[in-house]
Amino acid sequence: MSVYLNQPWEVFGIGALWLVLMAFFVALPCSQLGSFLMLRRMSLTGDAISHSVFPGVVLAFLLTGDLASPWLIIGAGLAGLLATVLIELVHKWTRVKQDAATGISFTALFALGVVMMETMLGQHVDLDLDCVLHGRLGLLLEEDTVTCFGLAWPGLVVVMAAVAVAAQLLMAFFFRVLLLSSFDAGLAASLGYRPALVHYGLMLTTSMVVVAAFQSVGAILVIALLVLPGATAYLCTHRIRIMMVLAAIHALLSAIGGLYLHVWLNTNMSASVVVSGGILLVLAWLLGPVDGVIWKWMAEEPDQSEQGLDQATNSQPRD
């Protein structure tokens, strides 16, 4: 057993720590933002943003010519904001429902990004479509390193750590208004807050986190990191603060489990992290103390027995 547990560390050495940290720093802000998206019944909007930021990335790369430029994150954030505005416009000014408006917006913007990449950037650029779609978390150890606290950290880990910390600080600072506007936008407005501004701020932050995660998990797998932690935590508790903590724990366990699956099965690291998160969701669905199937069954079983006993007693002939 210990052979299997030690295998990732024997294969990668200190690199195993960098892989876990990178996966965690990607999953952590996604888990917190995704929890609020789920509470707002907007999980599909996260899906839309993850695809629709593509034109912004391409346009920023066209202007800067540097995949590490912070302008890529800014361009993606603006593209994600544009997608959110388009969804609202299509939904409010036409007879199209919101789910259809979401589908229209993100597919149109994603297709626009693909066309822009092939026509404006040409074939002589290092913007790999497979990387954008599926990520390359497993190739992290081949990236340049940055010396920090006496250790040579992979540059991408440092960048993603900064993004994760910034997202956490923003959410901590605006937690009260985010919570209030998620459950009752009218009450939030009556107290002087601006729910629409909060909504677009949440979408902008989500867009920036999504594009920061591009090189690691890609535009498709990041959707799972936005949805799985919040959904898993929601099956275990209905208290929002505990839910946020459980979502963060889900992010950490997914990162660790993903590393082991990556080594044991010799498969894609990004997909392994998502599969690990999916396994945790199934466990919460079965064993979750609030909505777990087994706990519900165990709670209902005595009641049914008592009900059956009562019915049997009532059916006895009376003297």
The DSSP letter of residue 120 is: I
As a whole number of angstroms, the distance between CA 304 and CA 174 comes to: 46
* N residues, the chain: 319
**Where are the alpha helices (H) located in 96-151, listed in sequence order?**
98-116, 129-134
pTM for the predicted model, two decimal places: 0.79
Residue with token string 């888990």: 31
Domains present along the chain, CATH in parentheses: 1-299 (1.10.3470.10)
Per-residue pLDDT tens, the chain, 319 aa: give them.
677 777 888 888 888 888 888 889 988 998 998 888 888 887 777 777 777 777 887 788 778 777 667 777 777 778 877 887 888 788 778 777 777 887 887 788 888 887 887 777 665 555 555 555 566 666 666 767 777 777 778 877 888 888 899 989 998 998 888 888 888 888 888 888 888 888 888 888 887 787 777 666 776 677 788 889 989 998 888 888 899 999 999 999 999 998 899 889 888 888 888 899 999 999 999 988 877 788 778 777 655 555 554 554 454 444 4
| 240 Cβ contact list (under 8 Å, min separation 6) | 39, 179
* CB-count exposure of residue 134 (10 Å: 0-12, 13-18, 19+): middle
CB atoms inside a 10 Å sphere around CB 168: 14
